[in-house]
Amino acid sequence: MEAMGLSAEFWRGKRVLVTGHTGFKGSWLTLWLQSLGAQVSGFSLDPSTEPSLFELARVHEGIKDQRGDLRDLGALLEIIAETEPEIVLHLAAQPLVREGYRDPLGTYSSNVMGTLNLLEAIRQVGGVRACVLVTTDKVYANKEWLWPYREDEALGGHDPYSSSKACCELLAQSYAASFFPADKHAEHGLALATARAGNVLGGGDFAPERLIPDVLKAWSADEPVTLRYPQAVRPWQHALEPLAGYLQLAAGLYERGPEYAGAWNFGPGEADMCSVGEVVELLASRWPQAPGLRIEKSELHEAGLLRLDSSRARQLLGWQARWTLQQCLAQTLDWHLAWQNGDDMRAVTLGQLNLYRGAL
């Protein structure tokens, strides 16, 4: 039996808007919602990589696929008025730490003003009952300590990407307090939450300067992979893990309103808090004659240690990570090899999704 908020019984026929549906996580989420029978509309820029999971898995099939920029308030007002979503899942963003250093203005513009425009469009049009804004585990003022961060810890952000996502958290808090307060829920009808997930893995991620895509690209070319921070510890998880949390959270907001509002962590278990170097070693054990690695020091700051406390999600939503890091890596590698083999990647992607749903 599937967990709360993950059944077709809940999602069938629900009108759902996904921003960033052409991205890596957005593509997995859109396919999942399709498989549950939701009426999905997507609003996003074109896929940012070539190839992309969106194109390979033909995610556009069966949805309203609209391209646009979150910085265009008029376009957001139009699609929300036209599609009348009951639930909004906001994933669109500039998602890369190092790109934030190269283009801080674009990063803040996309992430902060884009989120502000979405919230304003929802406020102006009305009718949305549940909204989940996806941020990141990097919104915390990271003190590099051993203890996992809880949702009430101080926000921060050393680099522009992390800071921009912390700004989104403050935006959500402000709009919730100013326009969607819990004591007036009967009047406005919207419950708003933010979701903070760890470092995600999975088939179909072709983004530059992410660990697994970089490793697979290098080894496929029979070259050693270059690591910048091999000792850095991250909360690794398959993309489907936090996506399950977003779906459960959206259902909770829809059915129980402000009780499920606020910030939520969706991170892996303690055993899957591994260093970058350890992850590469695990992947190498599954890759015959892996060409190895080399270390290239970087002057750009990135967090060295980051852990999440997901107790709230476990206790209130019944959410928990289902796949071990070994399983995550196996599924990611299987997807990649199937793609290299020329397989039908929509079928492969849906097959892995169904395998994950069977573990729920």
Three-state DSSP string of 108-173: HHHHHHHHHHHHHHHHHHCCCCEEEEECCHHHECCCCCCCCECCCCCECCCCHHHHHHHHHHHHHH
* pTM of structure: 0.95
Surface-to-core class of residue 65, CB atoms within 10 Å of its CB (0-12 exposed, 13-18 middle, 19+ buried): middle
For residue 225, what pLDDT is reported? 87
Per-residue pLDDT of the chain (360 residues; tens, 9 = 90+): 457 789 999 999 999 999 999 999 999 999 999 999 999 999 999 999 999 999 999 999 999 999 999 999 999 999 999 999 999 999 999 998 889 999 999 999 999 999 999 999 999 999 999 999 999 999 999 887 778 899 999 999 889 999 999 999 999 999 999 999 999 999 999 999 999 998 899 999 999 888 999 999 999 999 998 887 888 887 889 999 999 999 999 999 999 999 999 999 999 877 777 888 999 999 998 987 878 677 766 656 555 677 889 999 999 999 999 999 999 999 999 999 999 999 999 999 999 999 999 977
- Asked if 122 and 80 count as a contact pair (C-beta separation under 8 A), the reply is yes
Instruction: Identify the pLDDT of residue 226.
Output: 86
pLDDT score for 269: 79
Question: Quick count: other Cβ atoms within 10 Å of Cβ 335?
Answer: 24
Q: What are the residue numbers of the active site?
A: 161
Please return the burial class of 275, using the count of CB atoms within 10 Å of its CB with bins 0-12, 13-18 and 19+.
middle
Altogether, the residues listed in the chain come to a count of 360
Bridge partners of 197, per DSSP, are: 266
Structure tokens, 130: 């549940």
Which pLDDT does position 302 carry in this prediction? 59
Strand order in the sheet with 273-275: 199-201, 233-238, 273-275
| 196-220 CB burial, b ≥16 within 10 A, e <16 | bbbbbbbbbbbbeebbbbbbbebbe
C-alpha 239/C-alpha 157 separation (Å) is 23
| Separation of CA 34 from chain center | 17
Cβ atoms of 214 and 282 within 8 Å: the answer is: no
| C-alpha distances out from residue 133 to 19, 116, 119, 247, 307, Å | 10, 11, 10, 12, 20
pLDDT at residue 1, as a whole number: 47
pLDDT number for residue 303: 57
* Neighbouring-strand partners of residue 192: 131
| Under 8 Å between Cβ of 93 and 145 | no
